[in-house]
Structure 1
Amino acid sequence: MAQILAGDVGGTKTVLAIYETEGAEFSEIRKQTFPSGKHERFEDLLLEFLGAGFSIDAATFGIAGPIKEQKCITTNLPWTIDAAKLAKLLNTSKIRLLNDLEAAAYGVLQLEHFHELNHQAIQQNGHIAVIAAGTGLGEAILFFDGKDFHAMPSEGGHCEFAPQNELEDQLLVFLRERFYGHVSIERILSGDGFGNLYDFLKSIDFAPVNPDIEAQMANTDRNAIISKSALTTDDALCNQAMKLFCRIYGAEAGNLALKCLPNGGVYIAGGIAPKILPALQSELFMEGFLDKGRMTHAIEKMPVRIVDNPEAPLLGAAHFASKLSGRN
């Protein structure tokens, strides 16, 4: 039996867990969530979690940022994470850093429950695509070789936003001015995206401002207030911001599907999707997904599923660590 360490390292929070594993079975020993921004170094957070006298056979961390030669400069944190240094700290050579979407992709393979959005889907074997809006936007592909899946990370969330209608054309102009040129799709499909969409709609006088909602936004996370108000009130600005978010999310998921033809399915992961599930289950997401002109037929039968388990990246990291340990 091996003892493994797994981590889901995000810009907002970091989740660490220790598991005992034998074969394909996992047993959780301890798990803890930390606010990422309250630690100057990842190593400090790690030692706080492990305490004295720890013994780890293998460890894998899914990290929000590009991995180069097993090093990562995190996207939304001032951390540099180096697998070689972690190997010395943890006293094991069996260390692997994964992009957070690599970890989430492997995690999807460990799950059984999803919310199906495409009711015309036909289940097939093949590649799988994972797209996840949270603090940022991540995209990954699970390449299927006929027997096993292999995760391929990307930084697709930083590709350009492509408008599909006149309102979205105006949105692009607004965001180009706000961000001085390049407008990545992450500027919309992320937590901060709700605020950007709301501000755009205000700028074109789409609807009157609700003073009560504006007051709430002044005192707490405005993005959370906008998304919550869109689901619980009839505020026109918040509702339209949510509609734009859902349609553009669907469109980008469709773009990813066209790029890798994932007949095994497109999975919508990340922290935002479960929180806005009713909105994503409306026709707007699939409308955006299928609006691909003459190539709609290439993706219209693909499963499109929402992942409602927030621990997918952690489970994916644990699965990978178990393989590293040699006990799986």
Structure 2
Amino acid sequence: MNVSKDFDSLVIAGDIGGTNTNLALVGRKTDNFELLLKRTFQTQTLPDLIEPVEIILKDINEKLPDMKPQTCCISAAGPIIENRCYLTNAELVLDGKEIERVTKLPTLIINDFTALSYALPLLDREDPAMITKIPHTDGTFPEPDGPVKIVTGAGTGFGMGLLIESEDRATAYPSEAGHLDFSAFDRETEELKDFVAKKMGFNPYVELFLSGRGIVNIYNFFTSTGKISRDFIPLEVLSAPDNEKPALIAKNASQDQGCARIIKTFVKIYGRYTGNLAILTLPYGGLYLAGGIAIKNEKFFIEDNLFMKYFEIGSKPEIHKLLKKVPVYLIRNYSASIYGAANAASFLLKNIE
């Protein structure tokens, strides 16, 4: 095995989302991972992943000729069947066998939230550049106390992963939680659900509310029904195409009441839904929020305990007490999926040594 003396193994790790495709060379030394080289591509412009993989291999050969990767692990936003992934929010198919043919490396395709799940043990909860701790409504920060962790994330879509840790290893399980039916919980969300259902022509699922597209649906609901006058929405938001609106709404939310109301509605839905996921899984090891939308709107998650007020809602006092025991963290590291894919690859590497 040809590995640089500074690392136990070298991995080509990938994070393929509906918007961006990130490929990187990651070095592992015991339980520490270092990102050595990274390239980013626009997912919607890619017919397949072969050319980006060839580009990263060329970059490694030219810039880091002594670094020879042994495995390749790529995470993707979609269900995995026989080492293939059909992306949920892009016209792209990832084929592990084809990538293996190009790289000449054992290649594993995993769900994006499986990668995020494998990233959880690597995160330093005490590093504010990596993690924001979200206080409960009473101001407390419960300590992790259990083997179960979950990670949820809103971006181009919405997903959830579950991690169960034992003494000698951690096992991640994917899900398609973004495609569960959406349940309204107050009059406003009932009206919002009816609005989206009429637009879509079917009973809407969670991802249509908790994603970039979800922010646009909330925006359209408020402006179309007159609940927010277009006079109170910045012109750059009104004139932008739908795919640009979420970032612009987040950008203007701190100084614009209309944009703030849209983001606050998104946050309260996020809080209520993840509270339901916590009731289902009891993640006393921690519930982690990932994705660019949470990072860009962190202020609204914490301000006035908005997220946590809806997270802690339970139908019974006993359930409320259980939810207050769950530590909640916001992941601020945009490269978490890359590190998680590299960590997952370390298991693959063990299997082939």
TM-score (norm 2): 0.87
Q: Pick one of 164, 167, 170 that aligns with 1:149.
A: 170
Change (3 A) 1:169 1:86: same
The Cα of 1:85 is off from its aligned counterpart by 2.1
The Cα of 1:36 is off from its aligned counterpart by 1.2
Q: Pick one of 4, 7, 10 that aligns with 2:14.
A: 7
| Equivalent residue, structure 2, for 1:120 | 140
Using the TM superposition, name which of 262-271 and 18-27 deviates more.
18-27
2:313 matched to 1:291?
yes
Q: How does 1:160-309 map to 2 (within 5 A)?
A: 160-210=181-231, 213-219=234-240, 221-233=244-256, 235=257, 237-282=258-303, 283-294=305-316, 295-309=319-333
| Equivalent residue, structure 1, for 2:91 | 78
The Cα of 1:216 is off from its aligned counterpart by 4.0
The Cα of 1:122 is off from its aligned counterpart by 2.4
Using the TM superposition, name which of 60-69 and 142-151 deviates more.
142-151
Change (3 A) 1:230 1:211: closer
Whole-Å separation in 1 of the counterparts to 2:180 and 2:168 = 31
Whole-Å separation in 2 of the counterparts to 1:219 and 1:241 = 16
Whole-Å separation in 2 of the counterparts to 1:162 and 1:194 = 17
Whole-Å separation in 1 of the counterparts to 2:235 and 2:208 = 21
The Cα of 1:44 is off from its aligned counterpart by 1.8
Which digits, 9 at most, give the CA deviation of each residue in 1:49-94, with x for residues without a partner? 22288553101111111011211111122222121222222112x2
Q: How does 1:99-110 map to 2 (within 5 A)?
A: 99-110=111-122
Identity, in percent, stands at 29
Conserved? CA contact 2:84–2:109, under 8 Å: yes
2:107 matched to 1:95?
yes
SS at match of 2:122: coil
2:53 matched to 1:42?
no
Which digits, 9 at most, give the CA deviation of each residue in 1:150-200, with x for residues without a partner? 111000011111111111111110010011112111111111221111111
Conserved? CA contact 2:26–2:339, under 8 Å: no
Conserved? CA contact 2:288–2:331, under 8 Å: yes
Change (3 A) 1:29 1:225: closer
Whole-Å separation in 2 of the counterparts to 1:146 and 1:51 = 39
The Cα of 1:131 is off from its aligned counterpart by 0.4
Using the TM superposition, name which of 162-171 and 317-326 deviates more.
317-326
Conserved? CA contact 1:107–1:315, under 8 Å: yes
Q: Unpaired segments of 5 or more residues in structure 2?
A: 4-8, 62-67
Whole-Å separation in 2 of the counterparts to 1:212 and 1:134 = 22
AA matched with 1:320 = A
Which digits, 9 at most, give the CA deviation of each residue in 1:110-155, with x for residues without a partner? 1113211134342212200110001110111112345532111000
SS at match of 1:17: strand
Whole-Å separation in 1 of the counterparts to 2:32 and 2:329 = 25
Using the TM superposition, name which of 59-68 and 45-54 deviates more.
45-54
Change (3 A) 1:52 1:222: closer
Whole-Å separation in 2 of the counterparts to 1:126 and 1:322 = 21
Q: How does 1:22-61 map to 2 (within 5 A)?
A: 22-51=29-58, 55-61=68-74
The Cα of 1:313 is off from its aligned counterpart by 0.5
Whole-Å separation in 1 of the counterparts to 2:168 and 2:38 = 32
SS at match of 2:234: helix
| Equivalent residue, structure 2, for 1:111 | 123
Whole-Å separation in 1 of the counterparts to 2:147 and 2:32 = 25
Whole-Å separation in 1 of the counterparts to 2:221 and 2:155 = 20
Using the TM superposition, name which of 151-160 and 118-127 deviates more.
118-127
Change (3 A) 1:52 1:136: closer
Q: Unpaired segments of 5 or more residues in structure 1?
A: none
The Cα of 1:300 is off from its aligned counterpart by 1.4
The Cα of 1:217 is off from its aligned counterpart by 3.3
SS at match of 1:210: helix
Which one scores higher on RCO, CA 8 angstroms, separation ≥ 6? Answer: 1
